[in-house]
Amino acid sequence: MIYSYYPGCTLRTKAKDLDEYARKSAEVLGINLEELPDWQCCGAVYPLAQDEIATRLSSVRALASAGSLGRDLVTLCSACHHVIKRVNNDMKTNQDIRMKVNNYLEPDKEYAGETKVIHFLELLRDVVGFDELKKKVVNPLTGRKIGAYYGCLLLRPGDEMQFDNPENPAIMEDFIRSIGATPVVYPYRNECCGGYVSITEKSLSQKKCNTIVSSAAEKGADEIITACPLCMYNLDTNSTERKLPVRYFTELLAEALGVK
């Protein structure tokens, strides 16, 4: 099956590893990711006000474009996934937003949230299946103790994201098991790293990241995985007390599949 793939701005620049290892792994797993033509930046934050229309347009363009090809839309960056999935929900459920966006974009066929948005981790869980993934692992990461960092954007709000249990998720731990490593569950895995505040209030992000990284280290993790370039930056740069290596989950996937 062919999927439309939305890489997003950061995967072309600072987060090339997140993108490149996902593409290589997808090939091994028989997933055909075809990059969406002419995609635009999603804006990185979901516009919370109901009268924000312009900030929703790039997501709708991507959604409608995948829809016109008859394909599901696969995302990889947590922020892109969050923004595109929630804008899609608006197009499905909010008549005022749907009307204004369609009036402006004038698409051939009115867009009303028909495209399915799938995060790469959901693809591994729901399409490939973690049991099948396990069979394709040629280099199991035996003995590695890995803490999954979920952050905020993949999980919350749970009723819109429908990703996993927002307070007690399991998808990344199941992923870690499927590549032969040992997951380490720690209390702060779904608490915020500080996000964009690190630009203007670095000390706030430092406090958050120190708590998260110490929490993972105290529970025995030797490394942390994430799906978000901003979480990666914050956990890496703004943890000042204790350091753990932070990697994208796709890098470990590629390693296990022998394509790193």
Partner 1 sequence: MQAAEREIAENIIRISGVNPRKCMKCGKCSGTCPAFNDMDIHPHQFVSMVEKGKIKELMKSKSIWTCLSCFACVERCPRNVEPVKLIEAARLSVIRRQGENHLKADEIPALLDENIPQQAIVSAFRKYSK
Residue 199 contacts partner 1 per CB under 8 A: yes
Q: Which residues of 79-118 are buried (b: 16+ CB within 10 A; e: fewer)?
A: bbbbbbbbbbbbbeebeebbeebbeeeeeeeebbbebbbb
The whole-angstrom distance between residue 160's C-alpha and the CA centroid of its chain comes to 15
| Angstrom distance (rounded) from CA 210 to CA 241 | 6
Residue 237 Cβ vs partner 1, minimum distance, rounded to whole Å: 6
Name residues contacting partner 1, limited to 60-99 (CB under 8 A): 77, 79
Residue 198 contacts partner 1 per CB under 8 A: yes
Stretch that binds partner 1, among 19-27, 99-107, 169-177, 188-196 (CB under 8 A): 188-196
Q: Which is nearer to partner 1, 32 or 162 (CB)?
A: 162
| Angstrom distance (rounded) from CA 246 to CA 237 | 10
DSSP 61-116: HHHHHHHHTT--EEE-SHHHHHHHHHHHHHHHH-HHHHHHHHHHH--SS---S-S-
Residue 119 contacts partner 1 per CB under 8 A: no
Residue 127 contacts partner 1 per CB under 8 A: no
Residue 131 near residue 175, CB atoms below 8 Å = no
What would the two tokens of residue 209 be? 């990241």
Residue 175 Cβ vs partner 1, minimum distance, rounded to whole Å: 22
Residue 48 contacts partner 1 per CB under 8 A: yes
Helices 229-237/202-218 angle, 10° precision: 80
Residue 257 Cβ vs partner 1, minimum distance, rounded to whole Å: 25
5-24 mask for partner 1 (x: CB under 8 A)? ---xxx--xxx---------
Residue 194 contacts partner 1 per CB under 8 A: yes
Residue 113 contacts partner 1 per CB under 8 A: no
Which residues bind to partner 1, rule: CB under 8 A? Answer: 8-10, 13-15, 41, 43-51, 55, 77, 79, 152, 155-158, 166-167, 191-192, 194-201, 204, 207-208, 228-230, 232-233, 236-237
